[in-house]
Copies of this chain bind each other. A is one copy, B any other.
Amino acid sequence: MSEENNNSEVGGIAADRLRSLIERIERLEEEKAALGSDIRDIYAEAKSAGFDVKIMRAIIKLRKMNAADRDEQEFLLETYKKALDI
C-alpha cells in the first residue's frame, strides 16, 4: 500500500475524511485570523489619526449591546405573548 493515499481506515477511523474536515477548519481559521489582523490595522490607523482606541472600542461595544438589548426585549415580549397564548 502506498503511504500517502488509501489511508481510509487507520485505527478504525476514516482518516481521509477526518483530514479533509480538519484542513477545511484550519483554512477558515486562517481567514478569520486575517480579518482579526485587518481589524487591528484599522485601530492602528485610527490611533495614528489621533483617535482614542479605548473609546472606539467602548463605542463599538455599546452599539453591540444596544442591539443585543433590543433583541432581548423583543424576545421577552414574544415569549410572554406565547406564554399567555396571545
Contacts and interface: CB of A to CB of B under 8 A. Distances in A.
Contacts of A54: 79
Interface residues of A, number: 55
A83 B38 contact: no
B52 A83 contact: yes
List 9 tightest A-B contacts by C-beta distance, closest first: A15-B83, A10-B83, A11-B79, A32-B35, A58-B76, A21-B46, A52-B83, A55-B76, A28-B39
Interface of A: 7, 10-15, 17-19, 21-22, 24-26, 28-29, 31-32, 35-36, 38-39, 42-43, 45-46, 49, 51-52, 54-56, 58-63, 65-66, 68-69, 72-73, 75-77, 79-84, 86
